[in-house]
A = this chain, B = another copy of it.
Amino acid sequence: MSDTDAPLVKKVTIIGFGLIGSSLARAIQLHGLAGELVACDASHDACATIERLQLADSVGSDPATAVRGAGLIVLAVPMGAYAEVARAIAPHLAEGAIVTDVGSVKAAAIEALAPLLPAHVHLVPGHPIAGTEHSGPASGFATLFEGRWCILTPPEGTDAGKVAVVAELWRRCGSMIEVMDAAHHDKVLAITSHLPHLIAYTIVGTAADLAEDAKAEVIKFSASGFRDFTRIAASDPTMWRDIFLNNREATLEMLQRFTEDLTALQKAIRRGDGDTLYEMFARTRTIRRSIVDARQA
């Protein structure tokens, strides 16, 4: 496994060639991590792009065919398609194969996949904390995961050797690895990712509801703060729909806390309470500094 001259896995199949799937394919190619790389995507347009960009050794739309003989299968489809894909591939998975995914909610990923996979395969759920606001196979790039964290959430009793293979794959793509419980992952991501996206989608939606002339001005003067939200709110709608449907409770809990804090700030503005406003605005600076120090800025 630590021999960097030999491929890490003989045959890898990636199902779903969006931003993450296609970036992983590029990184696998760049670092020579697979003896053979098979691409699978339900969209024929995506398959054409994969072929044109030569992102894999072979390309197809049928998951059952794509997984035959693969030692590692990476699900990179929206979470709403997990059950369908799992059903399609289950009878065709090789003995001892590893199935991993890149979905943003881990408890739901395990719930959807575990009951449908045969006992002879190993489920090692994963979540690379990386992305951009762009979607589709053409938007990926090999360095997307460099310097970023990848969280693995193997259910209790998962073969440690199989977890190590998936960890090594991401490590060779440039990531740092963290292993944690799926439920804990979902709580952490609710505040770091799911709530921020929900808020960004909301505020951009609020602006979208303004009258046409006001909207033109919002776009013109967006450099004053708004544009940062629009970048986040341009993320893939199918993916984010599935995230909120799958991490409902943790997201709603964080949303509740956020709403309470927003109400307190609203009250301070209404009352003209400058001291409270200053205090609240000053303490958030230290969080930014910590992120810059942790090189995640």
Q: How far is the CB of A123 from chain B (nearest CB, A)?
A: 22
- Whether A241 pairs with B278 at a CB distance below 8 angstroms is yes
**Which of these, B148, B215, B228, B248, contacts A196 with CB under 8 Å?**
B228
- Whether A229 pairs with B272 at a CB distance below 8 angstroms is no
Query: In the assembly, how many copies of this chain are there?
Result: 2
**Which of these, B224, B232, B291, contacts A225 with CB under 8 Å?**
B232
Q: Is A160 engaged at the interface, CB distance under 8 Å to the other chain?
A: no
Residue ID in chain B nearest A270 by CB atoms: B252
**Contact flags A166-189 to B (C-beta < 8 A → 1, else 0):** 000000000000100000000111
In the bound complex, residues from chain B placing their C-beta under 8 Å from that of A80 are 274
Residue ID in chain B nearest A188 by CB atoms: B217
Q: What total of chain A residues lie within 8 Å of the partner, measured CB to CB? A: 94
Residue ID in chain B nearest A269 by CB atoms: B244
A258→B263 CA distance, assembly (Å)? 12
- Whether B282 pairs with A237 at a CB distance below 8 angstroms is yes
**Contact flags A91-110 to B (C-beta < 8 A → 1, else 0):** 00000000000001000000
Chain A residues in contact with chain B, CB under 8 A? Answer: 80, 104, 129-131, 133, 148-149, 151, 178, 187-189, 191-210, 214-215, 217-235, 237-238, 240-242, 244-245, 248, 251-252, 254-255, 257-259, 261-262, 265-266, 269-270, 272, 274, 277-278, 280-291, 294, 296-297
